[in-house]
Amino acid sequence: MSDRDFTPNEMMTIAASRALKGDDVCFVGIGAPSAACNVARLTHAPDITLIYESGTIGTAPDVLPLSIGDGELCETAVTTVSVPEMFRYWLQGGRITIGFLGAAQLDRFGNINTTVIGDYDHPKTRLPGGGGAPEIASSAQKIYITMVQSKRGMVDKIDFYTSFGHGEGGDHRRRIGIDTEGPALLITDLAIWEPDPETKEFTVVSLHPGVSREQVQETCGWTVKFADRLDETPAPTALELKTLRDLKARTEAAHKGTAGSGAKKGSKDG
C-alpha cells in the first residue's frame, strides 16, 4: 500500500468506525476499539453513547485514554456509575448494543484469548487478562472485534478461552444458554470478516484497497473462507483520515505531558 496515503492500521480503524451508528450504546475496549469508537463519534455518529468499563457513561474524550481509569473519561462523561452498577444494570441488563473488543489470540469462531500464550500453568507469555471482556462477550447484544492480522494472533486453536465467541461454531452459544448474538464483525488491517450464518466461522466479505486474498491467507493461521461476492472496502475519506490523525496527535501530545514534569494529565497514572 505504499502508493496510498493511508496505512493499513488507519484503514482498519476507519473501517471499524463505520460499523457504528448514532443510536448505538457501545462498551469500548482500550486501544484500537477506543480509536474506532471515537472516530465514529467525531464523524458520522455524534450521538453514539460510549461506555468504558470503569463506569463512565456517555464519555467524549478529547484524547484517547491510556486505560479505563484515565481521568479523561470521567471528566468528559455524562455520568459515572460504580463498576457493579455498570456490569449488573447496564451490561447484564441488556442495555449495551455493541461490545467492541480487541484480542491477543483469536480463532475462526471469534473466541478470544487475552490471558496467556502457551500452557496456563507455565505460559510463554502472561497477558493482561480478561478484565470485563468475558462478561461483555456474553452480555452485549453483539460483539465487534478489531485486530492486526498475524499467524501468531489469528490461530487455529487459542491457548485459553478468555472471552467466549461462537465456541465450536453453529448454535454453541444457544446450547450453553447464551442468548446474545456474539461476534458479528471482525475488522482487521487487511479485511472485513463476518460469521457464516450457519457455521459461524468468520468469512472475508471485503478486502481493503490493494489487499489480495493471498495476503489475507498468509497472515492467518487457519484456511480462510472468502464470500462468493467479495467487496472492496471504500478507502478512507479526507475527513475520516484528518479526524483520526488529529485525535492521535492530540493523544500523543497529552501523553508526552504525562511522562514529563506533572503537566495537565500527570495525575492519571496515580
Query: Mind telling me the catalytic residues?
Result: 53
C-alpha cell at 162: 478468555
Q: By the 8 A CB rule, do 252 and 62 touch?
A: no
Distant-in-sequence contacts of 2-11, Cβ < 8 A, 24+ apart: 3/210, 4/209, 4/210, 4/235, 5/241, 6/235, 6/236, 6/241, 8/148, 8/189, 8/190, 8/208, 9/148, 9/189, 10/236, 10/241, 10/244, 10/245, 11/189, 11/208, 11/209, 11/233, 11/235, 11/236
User: Locate cell 448454535: which residue?
Assistant: 171
